C-alpha cells in the first residue's frame, strides 16, 4: 500500500495503513508479553489482565474494520464509479485493491481473536 503511487493523497488509505500499523504494534506487544510469561512461568489468564486485552482487542478490531471499509469504498469509487484507474495509469489501483482484501482478512482474524478472548473472559464469571 505505502509503495503505491498516490497512496498519501487519500486519507482513507492513510487511515487504513495507520490502523494496520496499530494492529502490528499491538500484536507484537502481545507476542512479547506471551513470550515473557512463558519464559517466567507466569499466568496471563487472570480476569484483570484478560479484561484489558479484550478491551484493546475490540478497539483495534473496530479501528481496523473502519479503515478497511473506508479504503474499500474509495477503491470501488476509483475503479468502478469515476474510472480513475483507467484515466491515471500511474495510480496503483491493483495494489490498493489487494491491500483492502488483505486488511479485511486481517480484520477477520482479529475479530476471531477478540471473540475468543471475550469468551474466555466470560468463562471467568
pTM for the whole structure: 0.85
Residue 12 lies in a domain: yes
In a domain, 1, yes or no: no
Task: Say what the pLDDT of residue 2 is.
Answer: 64
Neighbours of 45 (CB within 10 A): 12
At 10, the pLDDT band (50, 70, 90 cuts) reads confident
Domain contains 66: yes
Q: Is residue 2 part of a domain?
A: no
State the average pLDDT over residues 50-67.
Answer: 95
Domain assignment present for residue 101? The answer is yes
pLDDT at 102: 95
Residue 88 pLDDT grade (very low, low, confident, very high; cuts 50, 70, 90): confident
Q: How far is CA 12 from CA 15, 16, 50, 73, 89, in A?
A: 5, 6, 32, 9, 20
Banded pLDDT at 64 (limits 50, 70, 90): very high
Instruction: Please tell me the predicted confidence (pLDDT) of residue 1.
Output: 63
Q: Is the pLDDT of residue 31 over 70?
A: yes
User: Structural domain tally of the chain?
Assistant: 1
Q: How does residue 19 score in pLDDT terms, banded at 50, 70 and 90?
A: very high
Of 55, 50, 51, 68, the closest CA to residue 108 belongs to 68
What domain range is 20 assigned to? 7-123
Residues 6+ apart with CB under 8 A from 22: 60, 63, 64
Q: Is the pLDDT of residue 100 over 70?
A: yes
Amino acid at each position: 500500500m505505502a509503495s503505491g503511487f498516490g497512496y498519501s493523497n487519500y486519507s482513507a488509505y492513510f487511515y487504513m495503513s495507520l490502523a494496520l500499523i496499530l494492529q502490528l504494534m499491538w500484536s507484537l506487544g502481545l507476542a512479547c508479553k506471551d513470550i515473557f510469561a512463558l519464559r517466567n512461568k507466569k499466568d496471563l489468564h487472570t480476569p484483570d489482565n484478560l479484561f484489558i486485552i479484550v478491551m484493546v482487542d475490540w478497539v483495534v478490531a473496530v479501528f481496523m474494520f473502519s479503515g478497511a471499509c473506508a479504503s474499500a469504498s474509495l477503491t470501488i469509487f476509483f475503479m468502478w464509479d469515476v474510472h480513475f484507474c483507467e484515466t491515471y495509469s500511474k495510480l496503483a489501483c491493483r495494489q490498493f485493491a489487494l491491500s483492502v482484501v488483505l486488511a479485511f482478512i486481517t480484520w477477520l482474524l482479529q475479530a476471531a481473536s477478540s471473540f475468543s478472548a471475550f469468551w474466555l473472559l466470560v468463562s471467568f464469571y
